[in-house]
Amino acid sequence: MNRTILIAVILAAIAVPLAADEVSSPSFFIERIEVRNATRVSPDVVISESALRAGREYSEAELRDGANRLSRLPFLLSADFSLERGTERGRHVLVITISETKPFFFLLDGRVILGESYIGSPNDDSLANGQEAVLGFRWFVGRRGAIHVGLFGADDDRDYTASYSAFGVGYTRYDLFGTRAFVTLNLKKPFGNANGGGELSPQIVAGIPLSINQTLTLDYDETRFDTREREYFELGTVEEGFTQRILSARWSYNTTNRPFVPTSGTIVSVTPVAVWADRKGVIYERGADDRIRPSRLTSDAKSLGIDASAKRYWELSERDSVSAGVAGGWATTDERRNIGDISYDSTFAVIHAGYSHSLWDRARQKDGDSRFEFDVRAARRSRERSVFLERNNDVLQISGAWVRRSSYGTLRIGLGYAW
């Protein structure tokens, strides 16, 4: 049943209209592009991310799409387009007036979800692409680069990957090969996790533009947790350690108008995932005499999965918007262990709908936003044939939150209930 739902999600994602608007509209020849109010952000990066180039003609719809692409960048609050006279009749200068975020940034979800279950953030486009908290600094260096450093919490809500907190530092290179392609190199050090601390671990992310609104994002993420020795009364000294490697390729189609709190547009993604996890330590099992005893454990697990999601936002007015979406995921895990091999499948399927109301008018929203959000989600999760955990539960979650997006970051505070 869950695989059928996932297939339906993927088909719905692929079926989203990707063609450009066919309605005829005037075209404007752009002889030059000028970026104004850029103090920290590189103008070259702004022009590159707009996907607009001097010396070409663009329709009103294409210019509007370019403005949306810039407005959903995390380091810009807004990007306004205007046309000025060029050197000759019929030629124009495209002026991009931007409002930047600060070098310090944060993304914090302070909602409290009561009840027995939790189904992720209302603005996650799936259950497998979220981060609970980010806190850091960003500096642009040169014409096409940016350095970032900070703390983050990784919680993708998959059954077959480990959640953790980490300190990280990285570098992003934009505008590769004269396109919107980018590469990010990160080094991170986990801390304060159930698996202990961690060692410096690498991550590399490459974004490849497939079209104006489509991107293929390749991600290799390795996390090495500390190897340590612990004393157990029945086993003596046991060496414990854990390493996780995640390889994913995410195709996405995005026409939304801003990050974190979009109010219009469509976002669709399909993400195949491969995970390798090596663990050594202790496992507690029930013996023939019905007593629970610890045993030494070494394991080598491999998981293959796919996540898919589709979400649409509609603006009802300059302050009100609604949204609806579906998400699904399936994975199979095979784990070879010194005490016996296991395998299991894990699946999830979600359908959700939301409403948001901005406390600010559209003119003021250029400096951020302050809005109320309401969200309803229904989910089914299952994990089958697992020695440790077998679950097959349906969850309904409702939540309300106040969201404030400013030049310093995005804060969500609210309350919800899941049952």
Domain end: 84, 100, 116, which one? 100
If phi > 0 it is left, if psi is from -120 to 50 it is alpha, else beta; for residue 340 that is left
Domain CATH code at residue 57 = 3.10.20.310
Query: Looking at the structure, do residues 401 and 279 belong to the same domain, yes or no?
Result: yes
pLDDT score, position 18: 44
Whole-structure pTM value: 0.84
Tell me the three state secondary structure of residue 5: helix
CA atoms within 13 A of residue 226's CA, in its CB half-sphere:
14
Domain end: 59, 83, 100, which one? 100
Query: Looking at the structure, do residues 79 and 28 belong to the same domain, yes or no?
Result: yes
- The total number of structural domains in the chain stands at 2
Query: Looking at the structure, do residues 357 and 410 belong to the same domain, yes or no?
Result: yes
pLDDT along the chain (419 residues), means of 10: 53 47 69 93 91 92 91 90 92 95 89 72 42 82 92 76 89 90 95 74 96 95 85 79 94 92 94 94 74 82 95 95 94 90 88 95 88 93 58 82 93 91
Query: Looking at the structure, do residues 405 and 326 belong to the same domain, yes or no?
Result: yes
**Residue bearing tokens 């089958």:** 384
Residue type, 323: S
Domain end: 50, 68, 100, which one? 100
- In angstroms, rounded to a whole number, what is the distance separating the alpha carbons of residues 67 and 80? 7
pLDDT score, position 125: 43
pLDDT score, position 20: 40
Q: Are 168 and 152 in contact (CB under 8 A)?
A: yes
pLDDT score, position 366: 82
pLDDT score, position 116: 62
pLDDT score, position 351: 94
pLDDT score, position 128: 33
pLDDT score, position 406: 93
- Two tokens at 113? 């979800």
Residue type, 287: G
Query: Looking at the structure, do residues 226 and 330 belong to the same domain, yes or no?
Result: yes
Query: Looking at the structure, do residues 92 and 121 belong to the same domain, yes or no?
Result: no
Tell me the three state secondary structure of residue 231: strand
Range of the structural domain that residue 92 is part of? 12-100
